[in-house]
Amino acid sequence: MIYFSTNKSSTPVSIKKATLEGLAPDGGLYVPSEIPRFSEPEISLLEGASFNNIAFAIAKKFTGGEISPARLDEMIEECYGFDTPLVEMDGSTFIEELFCGPTLAFKDYGARFLARLTGYFAAEDDRLITVLVATSGDTGSAVAYGFQGIPNTRVVLLYPSGKVSRLQEQQLTTAGANVHALEVKGDFDDCQRMVKQAFVDPELKSRLTLTSANSINISRLIPQSFYYAWAALKLKERDGIGNPIFSVPSGNYGNITAGLLARKMGFPIGHFIAASNANDSVTRYLDDGRYDPHPTVTTLSTAMDVGNPSNFARLRYFYGNDHRAMAGDITGIAVSDSETTETIQAVYNRFGYILDPHTAVAWRALELHRRSGHHPEMPGVVLSTAHPAKFLETVRAALHKEVEIPARLLAVLEKQKNAVAISPAYDDLATFLKELDN
Ligand SMILES: *Cc1c(COP(=O)(O)O)cnc(C)c1O
């Protein structure tokens, strides 16, 4: 299996190079040269298989023999030692809970797999890889806990002091060992600027192998297809219903791109809803074929506040830039903040189930899609991307009640914060990185 750049001018590379580089040299995103297909008999064999067995079957095709099956199997076991529940709400609507990992958000699925692949490939060359990430919250915590204790890797996270929630700060600063947190006295843009400068600093380059772990890495995307395949097969085997419609709370559109991969591999998926908040650049494109990104606006579903989604380039690539074909498979629906709050209330009143604001956007979008008469025959799967306790203030304000905090979250709050305070001057970061080396 080889990987191309969406910009088509870089040389094709192996999964190893694509993983360690992240972005292609021509500025494009890596995509597989062809999407592996599962035949009908192969799919039937996977019905009733465990999550990890399905994950293994998919990962094996994408890594194309570059990792021994035994080692790949071990990695998958290490990644997904938690459940992926598929909760039945009514006879035709299900919630897939993707928040049972260590940081209570779906980004654990991608970050944990990327971390192990990075460590594996770095060890092959006897290298130490330094992962440098600027974060405003959620990605950083998944990366911190994903890379925690992975040999041949270490992580340096930059976050803006006082601008992340206490819970997020605890998740960023307590992973320990090979994970270093830098508390920058500035804002997120300062953090990003400093990281960008490090990547082009020739002196640092001669001393360290730097890589980023942002959502454009193909090895963060591949593992997100696992839970689509798992849910589609589980519905068929357990509930006797097929070809579900997935409603996906979308920000950078990595999650829905992974869903598309699962469908192209041959897993039984009927349709997709790209649910967005007021950041509706892709929603508008799906409507009229014009891509006219607007600046980012702040909403209640903060992890989806992206004005110009990076994975849109991959989506376009997979459809050969054919807007009609894309709109045939994916319906874009935007949901306002007031609808988000109403949905948290309505679903709680009807089912006693607490949605986080991102999941509420996806729930609402599915409801609107059905109300306008589309795909009445298809069961619906709403992807739940975060535990409601991660967005306590919003959920409390909607329900006027306390939200129970899971024990593993409370445990993180108890841990000792471990961060190095630095100024927003690049020299501070460069000095820290050089001293790390000694
Ligand atoms: C990152 C994130 C999203 C958006 O996912 P994309 O892959 O960027 O579309 C949705 N919900 C939560 C909770 C997130 O952290």
- Residue from 304, 340, 359 whose mutation best tests the ligand 1 pocket (most atoms within 8 A of CB): 304
Bridge partner residues of 129 (DSSP)? 153, 209
pLDDT at res. 163: 84
Q: How many CB atoms lie within 10 A of CB 77?
A: 12
Query: How far is ligand 1, taken at its centre, from the CA of residue 223, in Å?
Result: 14
Closest CA to 356 of 301, 405, 408: 301
Q: What is the mean predicted confidence (pLDDT) over 313-335?
A: 96
pLDDT tens digits for 171-223? 999 998 899 999 999 988 899 889 989 988 999 988 998 888 877 899 999 99
**Whose C-alpha lies nearest to ligand 1, atom 11?**
385
Q: How many domains, the chain?
A: 1
Interval 412-437: pLDDT, tens: 889 999 999 999 999 999 999 999 86
State which residues form the domain around 89.
Answer: 83-104+221-399
Lowest-confidence segment of 74-78, 206-210, 273-277, 345-349 by average pLDDT: 206-210
Catalytic residue among 107, 234, 236, 390: 107
Q: Pick left, alpha or beta for residue 109 (phi over 0 → left; psi -120 to 50 → alpha; otherwise beta).
A: alpha
Residue 181 maps to a domain: no
Query: What is the rounded distance in angstroms from the CA atom of residue 117 to the CA atom of residue 137?
Result: 23
* pTM exceeding the 0.85 threshold for the entire prediction: yes
Confirm whether 180 is domain-assigned: no
Taking residues 389-416, report their average pLDDT: 91
Is residue 156, in this structure, part of any structural domain at all?
Answer: no
Contact between 381 and 86 under an 8 Å Cβ cutoff? The reply is yes
pLDDT tens digits for range 63-73: 988 999 999 99
Average pLDDT over residues 1-6: 93
Q: Which helix (H) or strand (E) holds 134?
A: strand 129-134
Q: Where does the pLDDT of residue 245 fall: very low under 50, low under 70, confident under 90, or very high at 90 and above? A: very high
Residue 292 scores a pLDDT above 60: yes
pLDDT band at 438 (very low <50, low <70, confident <90, very high): low
Q: Which residue has the higher pLDDT, 242 or 54?
A: 54
Task: Give residue 355's pLDDT.
Answer: 98
Average pLDDT, stretch 139-143?
91
pLDDT of 194 reads 93
Q: Which two tokens stand for residue 285?
A: 């494109």
Taking the centre of ligand 1 as the mean of its atom positions, its distance from the CA of residue 256, in whole angstroms, is 10
Please tell me the distance between residue 410's alpha carbon and the centre of ligand 1 in angstroms. Answer: 23
Average pLDDT, the chain: 94
The pLDDT confidence band at residue 29, using thresholds 50, 70 and 90, is very high
Residue 167 has pLDDT above 90, yes or no: no
Atom of ligand 1 nearest to the CA of 358: 11
Mean pLDDT of 48-54: 97
Q: Is residue 227 part of a domain?
A: yes
Residue 353 has pLDDT above 90, yes or no: yes
Q: Band of the pLDDT at 332, cuts 50, 70, 90?
A: very high
Quote the tokens at residue 68: 């021994």
Check which CATH number belongs to the domain holding 290 and give it: 3.40.50.1100
- Mapping DSSP onto H, E and C, the string for 6-24 reads CCCCCCCECHHHHHHHCEC
Query: Looking at per-residue confidence, does 342 or 401 come out higher?
Result: 342
Structural domain includes residue 74: no
Q: What are phi and psi of 179, to 5 degrees?
A: -115, 120
Could you confirm whether 107 is annotated as catalytic? yes
Percentage of residues in the chain having pLDDT higher than 70: 100
Q: Is the pLDDT of residue 253 over 90?
A: yes
Is 55 a member of any domain? no
Torsion angle, alpha carbons of 425, 431, 432, 433, to 10: 110
